[in-house]
Structure 1
Amino acid sequence: MGQPRKVLRTTAIGTVSAALLAGPAAGVAPAAPVAGVTAPIGAEQQTGVPGVRFVDIKGDGGTVLKSNVVTPAGADGSRTYPVLILPTSWALPQIEYLAQAKKLADAGYVVVTYNARGFWQSGGYIEVAGPPDIADASKVIDWALANTPADPSRIGMAGVSYAAGISLLAAAHDKRIKAVAALSGWADLVDSIYRGRTQNRQAALLLSGAGYLTGRPSPEFQQFTHDFLGSHLDKEQEMVDWGKKRSPAAFVDRINANGTAVMLGNAWGDTVFPPNQTADFYEKLTVPKRLEFRPGDHATPEIGGLLGLPNDTWTSTHRWLDHYLKGDDNGVDREQPVRLKSRSTGAYESYPDWKSVAADRRKLNLDSTKKIWANVDSGANGGLILLSSMLDQFVKLPPIASIPLLPRPFAAVWQSERYDSTQQIRGTAKLHTTLTGTKESGTLVAYLYDVGPLGLGKLVSNAPYTFHDKTPGTPFAVDLELFSTAYDVPAGHRLALVVDTVDPLYIEHNPFGAQLTFSSSAADPSYLSVPLRQK
């Protein structure tokens, strides 16, 4: 299978990996090996970190999955413990969860973490949470039940990003899984990276690049990446079908039938797996469930916890698992299940369900007709993947644009009146308009800005939209959900809706020289519906 690659060359992943590699030296403490337990294949290895054992586990088709095991101190086989299975995140090594595994083992869990197939030293190819990955999860559970003091009635899965998706898919296919904590994962892979029929260029490049650097992409994944980034529209249905097979949302009925308790945690600014698809999935669950959103970008709310630092996301994860796997009466089942952290204040808010978040709505009427030329970036854009939302998370600095200086030939702009009190945006803003294009295809990106007295706009939300096969000159309706958020607009500020045609985040489909016209009529008025309430 070739030698494992030692260095990650993408900045964000490399930074996290370096920190994780430092984790054992930072104090991962011992958990005693279980008497009489041996790995079924290969030699069991001590890691140099007391209490952590490296083992080889046979996954689907005999593929070797490099794994490690941490058990509660003093475990001697005389009793059983709840077991938690943690697949690794995309492109990260098997030591990713050592700090959390130690905490969980100290709390009375058997913890088995494994490198997903195709990455690092594990065998096989990267299947992107395909059927072999789902089968691997069940094989790891089998191994844990046969080789550790794991209780077969108390099995859970959890993890960040790739691990979150695999955990949800596994819960749909393996009835033994009683609880899942899916952090910064996806529910609908198609809606995540192909939202509004628009390819998320930066997300696809980041994921595929990291996959090639740290693993072995399968031929199917290579073909998908080629077709997706190459805008091969003749393969669109094949790409959609490929994504649906890997989407927990396609199997929500199975999860509901299995009764798995599901916790979902994501970031408002996740540029890989946006919050809308997570919230939609949450609403369809009928099992015990919890939904948490925090400021940040993909996987950034969980990073501190992976390093062993105090972390709200992991604290909630422990409480969820403690209740549904250990039976602790910690009250998590009696709390309001939707928990949001404001991007503006950092305060937490709780709601009984997702629809209650956006209970109050106001419309910004888009009365005037606007015509823009395509192919030119107006200066309004969604920022850079990972970096921009991390700046918003840590220093409250989202992407910024000067609204008065945006070139009107390339950007359509509508603004509200100034608000005389703070306005809280909670949930999903929705755009409805009538669009007429001069070409049969086109792409637009809508942005919602918080505009201060000097005209400087801070990005509140955005979303792309692409159309194909439309008759030039014939108007058609556009309905677009912007990415959900929790943001406070200060008194004295106003909201601005900006629409242009080019954003570095996305692949655009605007033929050269195309124009887009946005219009409104009495019979079908255009508007932006904003979940807005006065503080």
Structure 2
Amino acid sequence: MPTRTRLTIWRTLAAAAVATLTALFLTPAAAHAAPPRESRPVYSYADAVRESVWVDTGLDGDGDGRTDRVAADIVRPAEPARQGRKVPVIMDASPYYSCCGRGNESQLKTYDADGHVVQMPLFYDNYFVPRGYAFVGVDLMGTNRSDGCVDVGGRSDIQSAKAVVDWLNGRAEAYTSRTGGTPVKAGWTDGRTGMIGKSWDGTIANGVAATGVKGLKTIVPISAISSWYDYYFAQGAPLYDGGPDELAGYVESDDAQAHCAAVRKKLADGSPSSGDWTPLWTERDYVKDAARVRASVFVVHGMQDLNVRTKHFGQWWDALARHGVERKIWLSQTGHVDPFDYRRGAWVDTLHRWFDHELLGYDNGIDREPMADVERHPDQWVTSRAWPPHGTRATTLHPAPGTQAGVGTLGTRRAGGTETFTDDPKLSETDWAAHLTTSTPEKAGFLTAPLTRDLRLSGSSQVTVTATATTTSAHLTAVLVDLGPDTIRDYADNAEGITTLTDRTCWGESTAGDSACFKETEARTADVDYTVFSRGWADLGHHASLGKGVPLTPGTAYTITLDLAATDHVVPQGHRLALIVAGTDKDLIDPPSTKPTLTVSLSGTSAKLPLVGGAPAFTRATTGSSSSPAPRPTTLNGVRTPHTAQHIPTP
């Protein structure tokens, strides 16, 4: 594939272009010109100002008796300041700039002998600086060149970036060095800031927006956490065998490693393995503060992200909607992957237009376009004017005992009876789904008949389970399955749905030390006979409260409602919608201390699903269907779902 360079041929006429644009901006005739609809690459990236400042956060996280300063590396066009013009800022605040890298190629910040930044990871500076934006890369406290300690989503993390937004708007102090130095003002910016980032970086954007800080105009959280409790636990069920203290140690600078043991201990003490909700989690819950958000929010998430699971974007999106926040969303079939690596051209163009609208005020129409882009099949996208679409209704379905092969049914009528299964921690959701049409001892499965028309689910689901355990502890899993053949992105592969190629395409301007050219990718696909498209987990001992789990009394029935991951999925005509209720989901939650057998009361069990068209759509899709189970496929190639999260929000 030949290298593709986007909008960079201006270089040969750069001097003429700058002169023309300068005249346009500075002459009286400009007042009568048509308003711009797109920023253009008229400024020199090679001659951009590269500088570093250390912003005073007002906190002393490492307890050394002086307030901590965070490092902010800046790349900005030189010409606007000479013209007396101020520019907006695109910011990525990250803990990964020196330990792990950013993007598909794990890029780090690099510096010259004088400590000036040479390479900024990703394409943001290469592409946007020539278009009249500044790019600021912030080292979270306790990482790279910043003071302080990492507190994993807490006050220190959020203040790391908020203090920089305050400085950009004249409300905080910054200096030319980490200690001492000369005070420096951000006189080159108008203070209008947009934050962007994937995983932990996007999480910081969520957290800063939840403070309501003035000057933050938009955020673009990609695969981001909205509540840190939900990163480590699912309603009391542990998702990992590590905690935030281990994560802090993973990204800390050498200096922080030596001085932040007390902070790591506080993280460990505040996040007990019991799964109980503590004040530490309250501090790191941004959803509760959605009413404070002033910024617009462009959410991006992979619907098969098993690292930062999709409950995060679902609950954040719903909370923002309740408070009338301007929103846009992209949902892909990938796992924990940046859109630059699965829809590159459309992503750069859309992000460009989004920042132009939100930070430069250009009326380019992006706010009047469909709210949602959803990847329905690999590289095949559909749009929705609103998300979830208008007409989506929470519809309650009920399981019922089956008449053939011991397999239950799923419909709108409540039924009696029970189903019994025994927790088998060696099996996972794909093992269960591979045997949906037969009764097996480790699950309870319930299926519709083959659908007579497509059925779309859009949003977050809940499954309420009433169960009696034979032991004092039990974990529950509920998953929704599309039973039928399809070709999907192979999200269970190590690359989570993409293949990295050797050819490169270029997105902006390059220097000797910072290339704008990145390896291309393509969809990595898998042929499957079923797709698990939504899932949720819980510890039955937390049935009464997240604040305190309790031992179960064997033989006593308990009722708990599991929050399932947000999604947008169409179960096509001829396929079957299925609900599975089981115990430990191997590699996705940790098992309980016992191995219970659970008896599920079907009259006390239900699934509340976000169906486009509501109950009438379900009735139409199931009317006229055969009630007998579909023949079991001769080959079941369901995608395995290994533990992809690696105990950290991966870069």
Q: What TM-score, normalized to structure 1?
A: 0.75
| Alpha-carbon offset, residue 476 of structure 1 | 2.4
* Residue of structure 2 in register with 1:201 after alignment: 240
Residue pairs, 1:31-430, within 5 angstroms: 51=48, 53-60=50-57, 61=59, 62-72=67-77, 74-77=79-82, 78-88=84-94, 90=96, 91-92=100-101, 93-94=108-109, 95=119, 97-141=121-165, 143-144=167-168, 146-171=184-209, 172-201=211-240, 208=246, 211-212=249-250, 215=253, 216=256, 218-219=260-261, 222-223=264-265, 226=268, 231-232=273-274, 236-238=276-278, 241-255=279-293, 259-285=294-320, 286-296=323-333, 299-304=336-341, 310-343=344-377, 346-354=380-388, 356=390, 358-359=392-393, 361=395, 363-367=397-401, 368-381=417-430, 401-403=433-435, 408-430=440-462
Whole-Å separation in 2 of the counterparts to 1:86 and 1:117: 14
Higher relative contact order (CA 8 A, sep 6+): 2
Deviations 1:94-153 (A, max 9, x none): 455441122121221122112222223433321213222333224323554654554345
| Per-residue deviation, 1:267 | 2.0
* Higher mean C-alpha deviation, range 170-179 or range 447-456: 447-456
Q: Paired residue for 1:394?
A: none
Residue aligned with 1:140, SS: helix
Give, in whole Å, the separation in 1 of the partners of 2:480 and 2:364. 40
**Residue identity matched to 2:213:** D
Asked if the contact 1:156/1:325 (under 8 Å) is kept, the reply is: yes
- Superposition deviation, residue 426 in structure 1: 2.5
Instruction: Output one character per residue of 1:431-468: Cα deviation in whole Å (capped at 9) or x when no partner.
Output: 23321112232101122222238994322221111121
Q: Which has the higher helix share?
A: 1
Secondary structure at the aligned position of 1:264 is classed as strand
One-letter amino acid of the counterpart of residue 154, structure 1: R
The corresponding residue for 1:459 is: 532
Residue 377 of structure 1 aligns with an amino acid whose one-letter code is: K
Instruction: For structure 2, list consecutive stretches of 5 or more residues without a partner in the other structure.
Output: 1-7, 16-44, 60-66, 102-107, 110-118, 170-183, 402-416, 487-527, 542-549, 622-651
Cα deviation digits, residues 183-211 of structure 1 (max 9, x gap): 22122222343222222217x57994685
Structure 1 residues 473, 423: closer, same or farther in 2, change over 3 A? same
- What runs of 5+ residues in structure 1 fail to find an aligned partner? 1-25, 33-47, 382-398
Q: 8 Å contact 2:92–2:195 — kept in the other structure? A: yes
Residue 478 of structure 1 corresponds to 560
Letter in structure 1 aligned against 2:192: R
> Aligned AA for 1:88?
S
Q: Is the 8 A contact 1:267 1:299 kept in 2?
A: yes
Q: Which moved more, 1:462-471 or 1:206-215?
A: 206-215
Q: Kindly tell me: are residues 345 and 138 of structure 1, through their superposed partners in 2, closer, same or farther at Cα, counting changes over 3 Å?
A: closer
* Aligned residue type for 1:457: Y
Deviation at 1:406, TM superposition (A): 7.3
CA contact (8 A) 2:398 2:605 kept: no
**What is the rounded CA distance, in whole Å, between the counterparts of 1:319 and 1:459 in structure 2?**
34
Q: Distance in 1 between matches of 2:335 and 2:355?
A: 22
1:430·1:530 contact (CA, 8 Å) conserved in 2?
Answer: no
Identity %: 22
Q: Are the counterparts in 2 of residues 340 and 486 from structure 1 also a CA contact under 8 Å?
A: yes
Q: Distance in 1 between matches of 2:439 and 2:244?
A: 31
Secondary structure (helix, strand or coil) at the match of 2:477 reads strand
**Structure 2 residue corresponding to 1:516, chosen from 589, 592, 598:** 598
Q: Secondary structure at the match of 2:161?
A: helix
Query: 1:488 offset after TM fit, Å?
Result: 2.7
Structure with greater Cα Rg: 2
C-alpha separation in 2, matches of 1:59 and 1:323: 31
